[in-house]
Structure 1
Amino acid sequence: MQRLDMKQLLQQKLSPQQIQFIKLLQIPTAELEARIKEELEVNPALEEGDDQDEEFEEQDRDDEDFDNDPDAEFDSDNSTLDEDFDEPRDEQPEVELPVAEVPEPEERQQDNDDLDLSDYLNDDEIAGYKMQGDGPGEDEDDREMPLADTSGSLIDSLLDQLGFASLDEKQEAIGRQLIGSIDGDGYIRRDLSAIANDLAFSQNLETSVPEIEAVLRVIQSFDPAGIGARDLQECLLLQLERRHQDDPDVEHAERIITDTFEEFTKKHYSRIQQRLDLEDDELKDAIALILKLNPKPGGTGPVGMGKVQYIIPDFILTNDNGQLNLTLNARNAPELRVSPAYTEMFQAYDKASKKDAKMKEAVTFVKQKLDSAKWFIDAIRQRQNTLLRTMDSIVRYQHDFFLEGDESKLRPMILKDIAQEIGMDISTVSRVANSKAVQTEFGIYPLKYFFSEGIATDSGEDASSREVKHILKEIIEGESKSRPLSDDKLEKMLNARGYNIARRTVAKYREQLNIPVARLRKEL
């Protein structure tokens, strides 16, 4: 038996302009430039420049029309002059932040037969960005912004070296397959039998594991040293093979990697010295040589796979005799405007006596582009306003740190503190903090660097976890490397300084600082 039930639900949905604002807010400055260029390409109604340029262009066009019409000044009925004085020219208003609220898309949807041109003839109101038809698709978040690569990749370099090797056609095919199997750090982690199966299925090339291993040895002789290794032990040995074999340190290092690699990874130096019968100086020199080798040959060098991304600060903070001045990076404040040509199209349509279907179709297209341009400009300005409000609040909260750059002056601060001060949601502050950076006189810092939890002290005040990490790092740097401090000892030392912290918290902070355990910090 079927039943009809009525339920009343309350749902909260983001409008298209809110979604667009969120996407623009979370991207860094470098990607913002690419996003603006993309929008300029797909929307002809959006142009670079400010509103003042448009005012000068309109004035020049009016002066030119007046000069080209010598009878206008002596018109018998003075209609031209009367219109000029009775109807002053509209001026482009200066848009102030924060921007006025944007009407919902449902309110702006109209039938083609009832187009209201007054919204477009009057530039007093700039709406938000409408994501209909001409904007990026839903898969925009899944796309990655391409990075410029001025140098050749590692794969290209290896293929070039393969071309100079004396290999036959079959061996070259095996070599290309092996090079294609190299990971980003320079290792081949696939089993050679699996590579043989790939050659059989994809290229119909029957081969054996010994044949593949012979070609692999050739590739392992290419630059950079250690490329094509199947594990760390082989990678280090490949690099030691290119050293002078007459050097005793190289000989001792090869013995350590070959015979006592497990002890070496665990830094059991006493066992290594006992098994290989090495003197203290010999062991120390050999270990120093091994530590200079590159464990990831594919991720460094001019032909490495790793791409370097330079941090472009979103904010610039200067100290003028104790007065902190915060400015937004000029790249975050592009000069954009709506094309005046598209506004003139609407003026021409409004004055046209005959409005056929083609004209209505054309004006609908222009309407869509104008909506997109105005809403994009509004989203950019809202982004600027949100960035400045958030960073200004952070500067006030961490004022002492920005004056001196001393990490011990950092106050405990969480996202909720800033969100409550600026009257925004925590998710908005999180989007700003996770992808933005500020340039100070002490260096460039990501905004998330200034957010930290509080640790109770003996004085009853809260200390920033960043401050505790800074002190923990100083203690570890000053420890005896022959007898490094355990987490228990570090806990007692921090407690003696007045920080009420547990051992597991010490271990967590040590891991966040990328500091290994005491056993792995031991040195000869």
Structure 2
Amino acid sequence: MYTSPSPFNSLYHGPRGVTVHLAQTMRLLEMNSGELADEVARELDTNPALELVKDHTCPNCGRRIRALPCPACLDQHVGDGPIVFLSPRLPGASRIRDDEEGELPESLIPQTESLAEHLLRQVACAVDKVEQRVAANILARLDDLGLLDDHPTEIATSLRVPLETVVRVLGLIQRADPVGVATRDLRESLLIQLEVLNENGLVHPLVRKVLGEHWDQLAKRNYMTIARELGASLEDVEEVVRFIHHNLTPYPARAWQDAGGVMGRLARPVFYQPDITISLNPHPGGPLVVEVFTGVAGKLRVDPAIKSGLDEMTDVERVEWASYLDRASLLSKCIQQRNNTMQRIAEIVVVEQLAFILGGDSDLKPLTRSILAERLCLHESTVSRAIANKAASLPNGRMVPLSIFFDRSLAVRDAVQSIIRQEQRSAPLSDTKIAELLKPQGYHVARRTVAKYRQMLGILPANLRGREISI
């Protein structure tokens, strides 16, 4: 694999030129492909010495090609390892052709998306044109908290569509991400969130009874009154309250906005596109094909005409243009180094996590950033920069953050959920027992760790999972 020393070693100290090169490379390494495309576009606008040229040759074998991946490289690949290549096309764009212009489509650069756009995009595939119009109308009526004051009957009348159509579309919106938007009030929002959470059957009916039938007492924190009226213990009711606090979100529209850190009416930045796409080989049984997007729709280079014309310039002009040339040379070299590092990381990750990529969460192997850094002769901080804020598209279409390949808890959480799903409702398993059942699967975790993962999955403790409350 790759064992040569790397200039990305963050403890390397050398001449000033190397230090500047390193700092620039590390900065670019932290960017995802969309941010890098934005950076390149800005530099092309401000640096006349930087040039973007179309390049229709395979980055691996040098053959002229009409599209990536290179057919020759696919046919000549030896071994079971993945075929990993750098791709100058933008994620989501069509394959590169000879007659294409090497420009950056503005629509593919990360943009700010409103909540209405975010929700409409999710329901669009499940509705027809009339229902799309209904969805857009509903979303236009939301207030700043994401609540819908208008009754479905009023919406149906104004749009001259059947009430059933409005109710169906409203249900789709309410169950899209973030769950619980377009409801009449906070209580209805929480109840819908609970319904979605209960799709796996792991939410105790006591939670719904507290929310649905004792809302006023819950709002006043009269937990003893609720316990008495339900015939439950105070401890059970307090556990329900903790469950609600940990797993449900008041005003999910506002929380969705706050998560993005962007001011404005229910909007936050969203990145649609992956930095790496992992696909099945077009040849049955062949190795996976991994496309690492470079963020550059072509090849960057220093303008040769400007470089050759330095001798004819005045001293003042030469100093100015030399600065432009240095910037252009530095950026092109650093981007190349950044993308080569992303390619090396992608190759090892795909090899190590092949079972997860083709299977599911339970197949995730215990890969750490430090192990990967050692394999690549990099510092762990460099690997952390490389995987931060980036995503990969799996063969099944699932989009995951690169950090998921290093999430040691994911497989354990999946195992915890699987154990609880198979338990007898009349004899729920304690966290201690679950920890014991995990050991034969190779997961040695403490009881409190099981409790933590169970809470992350939105699953109640054993005393509330199994016992039916008598009302």
C-alpha deviation, 1:150, in angstroms: 5.7
Distance of aligned partners of 1:147 and 1:421 in 2 relative to their CA distance in 1, 3 Å threshold: same
C-alpha deviation, 1:518, in angstroms: 4.8
Q: Note the residue ranges of structure 2 that are not aligned, 5 or more in a row.
A: 1-10, 58-84, 87-108, 118-142, 148-180, 192-209, 233-246, 258-263
Query: Are 1:366 and 2:330 matched, yes or no?
Result: no
Query: Are 1:336 and 2:305 matched, yes or no?
Result: no
Distance of aligned partners of 1:46 and 1:499 in 2 relative to their CA distance in 1, 3 Å threshold: closer
The corresponding residue for 1:323 is 287
Alignment of 1:72-471 (within 5 A): 147-149=111-113, 235-236=186-187, 256-261=214-219, 271-274=228-231, 295-299=251-255, 305-307=266-268, 309-320=270-281, 321-329=285-293, 331=295, 334-349=298-313, 359-402=314-357, 404-442=358-396, 443-453=398-408, 465-471=409-415
Give the number of the structure with larger relative contact order, counting CA–CA contacts within 8 Å between residues 6 or more apart.
2
The corresponding residue for 2:435 is 491
For 1:397, give the aligned amino acid: E
Distance of aligned partners of 1:432 and 1:517 in 2 relative to their CA distance in 1, 3 Å threshold: farther
- Counterpart CA distance in 1 for 2:46 and 2:373 is 35
- Counterpart CA distance in 1 for 2:189 and 2:441 is 48
Distance of aligned partners of 1:297 and 1:148 in 2 relative to their CA distance in 1, 3 Å threshold: closer
Specify the SS of the correspondent of 1:424.
coil
The alignment's C-alpha RMSD in Å is 4.6
- Counterpart CA distance in 2 for 1:239 and 1:505 is 27
- Counterpart CA distance in 1 for 2:418 and 2:327 is 54
Specify the SS of the correspondent of 1:435.
coil
Could you tell me which of 48, 58, 76 is aligned with 1:44?
48
C-alpha deviation, 1:452, in angstroms: 4.3
For 2:216, give the aligned amino acid: T
Distance of aligned partners of 1:224 and 1:362 in 2 relative to their CA distance in 1, 3 Å threshold: same
Q: List per-residue Cα deviations over 1:75-104 (Å, max 9, x = no partner).
A: xxxxxxxxxxxxxxxxxxxxxx99xxxxxx
Scaled by the length of structure 1, what TM-score is found?
Answer: 0.49
- Counterpart CA distance in 1 for 2:419 and 2:223 is 24
Note if contact 1:400-1:410 (Cα within 8 Å) is conserved in structure 2.
yes
- Counterpart CA distance in 1 for 2:359 and 2:189 is 45
Scaled by the length of structure 2, what TM-score is found?
Answer: 0.54
Note if contact 2:114-2:268 (Cα within 8 Å) is conserved in structure 1.
no
- Counterpart CA distance in 2 for 1:236 and 1:150 is 24
C-alpha deviation, 1:237, in angstroms: 8.6
C-alpha deviation, 1:390, in angstroms: 0.9
Note if contact 1:49-1:335 (Cα within 8 Å) is conserved in structure 2.
yes
Q: Note the residue ranges of structure 1 that are not aligned, 5 or more in a row.
A: 1-9, 54-96, 99-144, 154-181, 187-222, 228-234, 241-251, 276-290, 350-358, 454-464
- Counterpart CA distance in 2 for 1:38 and 1:429 is 26
- Counterpart CA distance in 2 for 1:41 and 1:371 is 16
For 1:21, give the aligned amino acid: T
For 2:51, give the aligned amino acid: E
Distance of aligned partners of 1:152 and 1:316 in 2 relative to their CA distance in 1, 3 Å threshold: closer
Note if contact 1:29-1:331 (Cα within 8 Å) is conserved in structure 2.
yes
How many residues of Structure 1 are paired with residues of Structure 2 in the alignment? 309
Q: List per-residue Cα deviations over 1:117-136 (Å, max 9, x = no partner).
A: xxxxxxxxxxxxxxxxxxxx
C-alpha deviation, 1:329, in angstroms: 2.3
Note if contact 1:40-1:46 (Cα within 8 Å) is conserved in structure 2.
yes
For 1:271, give the aligned amino acid: R
Greater C-alpha Rg? 1
Query: Are 1:503 and 2:447 matched, yes or no?
Result: yes
